[in-house]
Structure 1
């Protein structure tokens, strides 16, 4: 068990299923730094921090094992998966192969009303980035990008990208927010919607390529 200070975990949400609520809070803790890569956490210790029994915590951690976010260690607990530079490059490469042509194709097929419906999520990405609200930022960013991809009508494609996003966990987000580097990336979501609404295929491809490259550049810093 780690001896480093243990910051408070995010409050459990409103779902009635403890397992789902704990899993969501654990994912949020991975993003915010409440759970640290490489550290080992036991289900009873985490349960005490949540104020629940160990059973839903253990079940939630097993869900995170399936997602590749943690590794089960017999008789010890769960180690938070460390994401390597190579893995980040691989995840981003796959995302680029999927997302750039898919989103570019929406210039010909997407209903303008459906695109405008994503504007509130784009605005929330900007406001949460400015406020340093990492959990809010990740949730709004997830809703925007998966909602945009859903307009292509391929549910499995959306699931694949969703899993890649979980595995990368927007690596280094805490340090980026502290240095004020999230806001420029956040503004690109509005730029992307504007290009899609203008039916400008080249502009959409350029923004998507720049946005994903921007994400990797921020990770590298």
Structure 2
């Protein structure tokens, strides 16, 4: 009979977050808040000096972000923030609409009463920012609301798939809200969605969430067309 040998493991404490993970987290925030813009080169030396770290954790962090698709390694330029092109958006939004639609479907079925009450509170934040036409505040509250719908669906596989694409959606940072009339349309779509979720009407919630994402794409395309036309005139 084969004996099982006991292995002595190191008892040294495990850090909750390594240095390169902290650097990666800060860089994600800079990208998502558009303080690092699409196409902008990331200056490793400047980060080293500003954050008081060595180049090793910065480079390791950039590898992590590259694996997530948030930055791109370019010859002779180093790392640059990934640009989400019009073609990317055309392909991304329909896929995200399917995923988030399913999140809404399962949230309507599985969310607890307390979780639905939480969604109503989060929607109240959306209402407040929409009334003030506060694009940054609305964007942040919108991200929290959509992420929470995803979480209360209670489907780990669905959440994993959705998470992989949500970062690219965040890189667009609600630009479609600059399209005239989009603020009003977006909050109206959210009101209907919340109503369907609270009524536990899964099929309606799925359809409304899907259409909400596709309306964002339509607004983004209209905004880009308008900007292109203005550029030609100038």
Bucket of the pairwise TM-score, normalised by the shorter protein: 0.7 to 0.9
Note if contact 2:24-2:65 (Cα within 8 Å) is conserved in structure 1. Answer: yes
Distance 1:159 1:80 in 2: 23
Distance 2:117 2:110 in 1: 14
Unaligned runs of 5+ in 2: 1-15, 224-234
Q: Which SS does the other structure have where 2:72 is aligned?
A: strand
- Determine the structure 2 residue equivalent to 1:110: 111
What's the offset of the Cα at 1:83? 1.0
Note if contact 2:30-2:36 (Cα within 8 Å) is conserved in structure 1. Answer: yes
Q: Which SS does the other structure have where 1:38 is aligned?
A: coil
What's the offset of the Cα at 1:22? 3.0
Residues 24-82 of structure 1: CA distance to partner in whole angstroms, max 9, x if unpaired?
Answer: 33223223332122222231123334454433332222221111010124664211111
Distance 1:55 1:39 in 2: 21
What's the offset of the Cα at 1:166? 0.4
- Determine the structure 2 residue equivalent to 1:48: 49
- Determine the structure 2 residue equivalent to 1:83: 84
Residues 157-216 of structure 1: CA distance to partner in whole angstroms, max 9, x if unpaired?
Answer: 112111211023251635745978446424543432222112334542442133112221
State TM-score, norm by structure 2: 0.71
Size of the alignment, in residue pairs?
A: 206
Superposition pairs for residues 5-16 of structure 1, below 5 Å?
none
Q: Which SS does the other structure have where 2:172 is aligned?
A: coil
- Determine the structure 2 residue equivalent to 1:160: 161
Q: Which SS does the other structure have where 1:72 is aligned?
A: strand
Distance 2:205 2:176 in 1: 29
Structure 1 residues 58 and 123 mapped into 2: Cα distance closer, same or farther (>3 Å)?
Answer: farther
- 1:204 paired with 2:209, answer no
Distance 1:125 1:75 in 2: 43
Higher-Rg member (1/2): 2
Note if contact 1:125-1:140 (Cα within 8 Å) is conserved in structure 2. Answer: yes
Distance 1:172 1:215 in 2: 11
Unaligned runs of 5+ in 1: 1-14
What's the offset of the Cα at 1:84? 1.5
- Determine the structure 2 residue equivalent to 1:218: 219
Superposition pairs for residues 128-207 of structure 1, below 5 Å?
128=129, 130=132, 132=134, 134=136, 137-171=138-172, 173=174, 176=177, 181-182=182-183, 184-186=185-187, 188-201=189-202, 203-207=204-208
Note if contact 1:73-1:79 (Cα within 8 Å) is conserved in structure 2. Answer: yes
Note if contact 1:71-1:80 (Cα within 8 Å) is conserved in structure 2. Answer: yes
State TM-score, norm by structure 1: 0.74
Larger mean CA deviation between 38-47 and 77-86 belongs to 38-47
Q: Which SS does the other structure have where 1:34 is aligned?
A: coil
